[in-house]
Amino acid sequence: MYFYGSARKSLLQTLETIHHQGFRLSSGAFRTSSVQSLYIISKEPAFELRRHKLALKYYFKIKSNNEHPMYDKILQPAFGTFYADKKSYIASFGHRMRSVLQTFNTQNVDIVPKLDELLPRRDFDIRIIDEFYKLLKSSTSDNVYWQLFYNHKQQHNSAFTDGSETANHVGSAVVFNNFTVTEELHEYYTVFTAEIYAILLALNVTGTSQDKKKMDYLYRF
């Protein structure tokens, strides 16, 4: 829709007429109802504001990526003097956006540069045992999991975390070598929240524990 900004006002008015007619039909408003009341009844922004919104999103998307092929053309548009002298000519997207940015006072907004990928964390020494990931739940007996669980529990200072969800219950649990921590969560929480909260429980208990030995492994079921 932001491409419509390069159209003549007469053509945009034709689209706005169709736009307003759709509001009248969907809301059941009278034919004599003002356009402003149609926007309020339908809880929709004006056609022009929608164009500006989409144009701003596209503009800042380009601004966040200096490798975008249109980066220089949009942020530093050419032929400014030409469009200033030729008022009848429709300016390019970069020039049109300058007035939009000024209208919404967003010309000085700083954009965080786009990163292609997350930088790896190198300040933590994390060791991983992937024996559990090699065993699919659909084809592995529970006895195998229990055997691996007790084996690692005896060999390492570890914590096992898990989150579960039923029809009316959500809970998180952490199993340490000598004790277990459980907590019931609100029934509206998802199982993903329960999984994350179980890890948080493990970290909180480890940080406040009297045993200052470093935890070797953190497992998630």
User: Is residue 135 included in any domain, yes or no?
Assistant: no
Q: Do residues 198 and 213 share a domain?
A: yes
Q: Do residues 146 and 216 share a domain?
A: yes
pLDDT in tens, 126-136: 566 666 667 78
* Overall number of domains in the chain: 3
User: Is residue 105 included in any domain, yes or no?
Assistant: yes
Full residue range of the structural domain in which residue 216 is found:
142-220
Q: Do residues 214 and 149 share a domain?
A: yes
Given this model, what pLDDT does residue 135 score?
79
Angle between helices 9-27 and 47-63 in degrees, nearest 10? 120
Tell me the residue type at 169.
Answer: H
User: Is residue 108 included in any domain, yes or no?
Assistant: yes
pLDDT in tens, 38-47: 888 888 888 8
Q: Do residues 57 and 111 share a domain?
A: yes
User: Is residue 99 included in any domain, yes or no?
Assistant: yes
- Is the pTM for the entire model greater than 0.85? no
Residue where a domain terminates, one of 101, 116, 131: 116
Task: List all residues 6 or more positions away from 107 whose beta carbon is below 8 Å from its beta carbon.
Answer: 98, 101
